[in-house]
Amino acid sequence: MQWLDAIIQGILLGGMYAQYALGMALMFGVMRIVNIAHGDVMILLSLIAVSLAGVLPVGNIGLIVVIVPIAVAIGWALQTFILNRVVGADPLPSLIATFGLSIALQNLMLEIWSADTRSLPNSGIASESFQIGSIYVGLLPVIVLVCAFVLTGGLDAVMRYTRFGRGLRAAAADTEAAAMTGVDPKRIYATATAIAVGILGLAAVFAALRATVSPSDGSAQLIYAFEAVIIGGMGSIWGAFLGSMVLGIAQAIGLRIDPGLGILFGHLVFLLVLATRPEGIMARKK
Amino acid sequence: METIKHMRVARATTSSRIAMTFGIMVLFALVAMPWWATSGNIRWAIELCCYIAIAQMWNLLAGYAGLVSVGQQAFIGVAGYLLFVLAQNFGVNPFVAVFLSVIAPAVLAVPTYLLLRRLDGPYFAIGTWVVAEAVRLATSNIDYVNAGAGMTLRVMTQYSQHEREVAFVLLCAVLLLATIGGSYWLLRSRHGLALTAMRDNPVAAASQGVNVGRLRFCIFVAAAVGTGLAGAIYYMAQLRITPGAGFDPFWASMSIFIVMVGGIGSIEGAIIGALIYFFADRLFGEFGSAYLIVLGLLTLVIALYARGGVWGLLQKLGDHPWFPVRRKLIVEDKA
């Protein structure tokens, strides 16, 4: 029963990770860009949400309605002013640029919000739970998981069926050929990053509701998102979702064995996948 | 029809001769430090030497082998820990142990590379970070090395301060010779040509017969050893190591900053960057996070607008290499 409980808690934790990982899978798969500041942007949005909650009495739903557009704007600006200048065959410039941005963002947040951990005021939802058999399941983590599931399905459908999705896949396959057929890669990229960061906006509100955030937490979130994407298989949206589940379960089981081992177990599963199935669990057959 | 009668291949330039003379003078001054400098200055010199060495190794990885790593702290930490374990728990002379401690990074680098080589570019970078984090967390859970509390190098008390200082400056001189000298030797050798070709275009280099995979593997292990030696010396001077410090991702940030600001893909760049970082740290370190915001933004701006860094800008003013790796054909017209 204890292990079943660990697996269920792991899946719920995976729901949170899936929200971090989706945006990364999109940017990774499409632009071959790794945004090192991914986690820091999420933390920034969380902290903005916490500060806004103190001023605007809009409730959690209202907060999401306010934060997501801010996130979309940040994503668009990030792509237009920074990433579009460094995207290209050589991965080094984008890596270094976002690395610098990450350090600057982390310390900027330290200046503004100090190193304290913060969270959104507990509004009841965060502590409600229900019981299945002898296992308690929190309501909020279930909502997070359902949102992650819906987002994954939605994003996958957008990639498959819309004009934007086709343009995105074309630009990912061959930027120049896509440009010749009338796709504007830079605009497509800006939209993709806006969507990716927009999802992070939602994740940010949930993260601040579920637990605490502090300015230096970003790197851990970046690593979890990255691990989920690689475990799942690069370029696969559902892969990122499944990878998040695997990572969440690994961490939850590690945590049951010894409280110091939770995150380490996640890393070990990642390395194990890399050693045995480097193309990821959901990779398309070649 | 004129035939060229006299020609020779030159590599040294006036600037390189000056730089070499200056470099040797600096090395001698460094070794003589215990007799002319204060203990505080010696500590600074040790720190600066470690920065230069770590940055130089990162430059070799990212600038030449195309392997961007943000996990070099893994090698710093394991080398530091092996030194502390050998000296403290096994009673090995610490000045012997410091050289033995490079075994740890070498042993760690092999499986790390074999696992991560499947990831390219940015994926590789974050992969190295995961490895470093995994090693840090594992170390924090091993009671033998005092888990999260870290270790102290008590055996150093058997040496007088002067003895320690003499040993440290000698170690630093060896470190600089191994990392800067080693890089220079490597770049001037046959492999250097292959490395430069790889830096410019790995696919084209492979088509010219360069075994890119094997060369990358060798560079990765060599850089791990160099970085590890610097880490061992650094924590030996600190007398204390904890998982949080030894495996601090800040080591990676520092390497990236130094090499990008100084100028990636050149030995001179890493040295200039290390000097800039070291003095900036002394002058502005007290501003804490505000200073780090500027460092981060500077790295961003350089990645966007001035990829060559300071050395790249200096090169535009005139070609005066300190460590020339190019050969020049000089035709002497006697007629």
Question: For B283-309, what is each residue's pLDDT tens digit?
Answer: 887 888 888 899 899 989 888 888 888
DSSP of B132-194: HHHHHHHHHT-GGGTGGG-EE-GGGGGS-HHHHHHHHHHHHHHHHIIIIIHHHHHHHSHHHHH
Are A136 and A129 in contact by the 8 Å Cβ rule? The answer is yes
Indicate yes or no: CB of B126 within 8 angstroms of CB of A263. Answer: no
CA distance A40 to A38: 6
Question: Encoding tokens for residue B261?
Answer: 């600001």
Distance from CA of A205 to the nearest CA of B (A): 25
Strand partners, B321: none
**Is the predicted pLDDT of residue A220 greater than 50, yes or no?**
yes
Residue A226 has pLDDT above 80, yes or no: yes
Q: Which domain holds residue A149?
A: 2-276
- Burial of B193 (C-beta count, 10 Å sphere; 0-12/13-18/19+): middle
- How many other CB atoms are there within 10 angstroms of residue B304's CB atom? 16
| Residues B68-87: b if buried by 16+ CB within 10 A, e if exposed | bbbbbbbbbbbbbbbbbbbb
Residue B165 belongs to domain spanning: 14-248
CA B75 to each of CA A130, B103, B107, B196, B235: distance values in angstroms, whole numbers, following the listed order = 47, 10, 10, 25, 12
- Kindly tell me if the per-residue pLDDT of B82 is higher than 90: yes
- B307 interfaces chain A, CB cutoff of 8 Å: yes
Residue A281 lies in a domain: no
* Count of pairs with CB atoms under 8 A, one residue in A, one in B: 134
Q: Which residues of A touch B (CB under 8 A)?
A: 32-34, 36, 82, 85-86, 91-97, 99-108, 110-111, 219, 222-223, 226-227, 230, 234, 258, 260-261, 263-264, 267-268, 270-271, 274-275, 278
Mean pLDDT estimate for chain A: 86
Closest CA to B270 of B281, B260, B278: B260
The answer as to whether A285 is a domain residue is: no
Q: Does B54 map to a domain?
A: yes
Token readout for A271 is: 């390395």
Q: What is the dihedral of CA A244, A246, A252, A257, to 10 degrees?
A: -150
Looking up residue A81, the CATH number of its domain turns out to be 1.10.3470
Question: Count of domains in chain A?
Answer: 1
- At residue B1 the predicted structure's pLDDT band, cuts being 50, 70 and 90, is low
Structural domains in chain B (count): 1
pLDDT score, position B213: 87
Q: Which of B30-34, B79-83, B299-303 has the highest mean pLDDT?
A: B79-83
In the predicted model, is pLDDT for residue B189 greater than 50?
yes
* B92-132 tens-digit pLDDT: 999 999 999 999 999 999 999 998 887 777 788 888 999 99
Count CA atoms within 13 Å of residue A218 on its CB side: 30
Judge whether A120 lies within some domain.
yes
Cα B215 from chain centre? 18
Banded pLDDT at B334 (limits 50, 70, 90) = low
Residue B266 pLDDT grade (very low, low, confident, very high; cuts 50, 70, 90):
confident
Tell me which of B10 and B292 has the higher pLDDT: B292
Residue B271 belongs to a domain: no
**pLDDT for residue A285:** 47
- Tell whether the model's pLDDT for residue A19 goes beyond 60: yes
| Residue B55: CB atoms within 10 Å | 30
- Is B163 a domain residue? yes
- Cβ-Cβ contacts under 8 Å, A102 against chain B: 296
Does the residue B225 lie in any domain? yes
The ipTM value here is 0.85
Calpha distance B271→B16 (Å, rounded): 15
Beta-carbon separation of B297 and A100 below 8 A: yes
CA–CA separation, A107 and B299 (whole Å): 14
Structural domain contains residue B154: yes
Looking at the domain assignment, is residue A283 inside a domain? no
**Beta carbons of B68 and A34 less than 8 Å apart:** no
Classify each residue of A170-203 as buried b or exposed e, where b means 16 or more C-beta atoms within 10 Å of its C-beta. Answer: bbbeebeebeeeebebbebbbbbbbbbbbbbbbb
Q: At what angle do helices A185-210 and A2-31 cross, to 10 degrees?
A: 160
| Residues contacting residue A174 through CB under 8 Å, at least 6 positions apart | none
**The predicted structure's pLDDT at residue B207:** 87
- Per residue in B195-222, pLDDT (tens digit) is 888 888 888 888 888 888 888 999 999 9
Percent of chain A with pLDDT over 70: 97
Residue B1 lies in a domain: no
pLDDT in the model for residue A178: 81
Give the pTM. Answer: 0.88
Does B26 fall in a domain? yes
What's the token pair of residue A6?
């660990």
- Tens of pLDDT along A119-160? 887 667 767 788 877 788 888 889 899 999 999 999 989 888
d(CA A211, CA A209): 6
Task: Give A48-89 pLDDT, tens digit per residue.
Answer: 999 988 888 777 888 889 999 999 999 999 998 888 888 776
Distance CA A178, CA A171 (A): 5
Nearest CA-CA partner of B84 in B252, B227, B246: B246
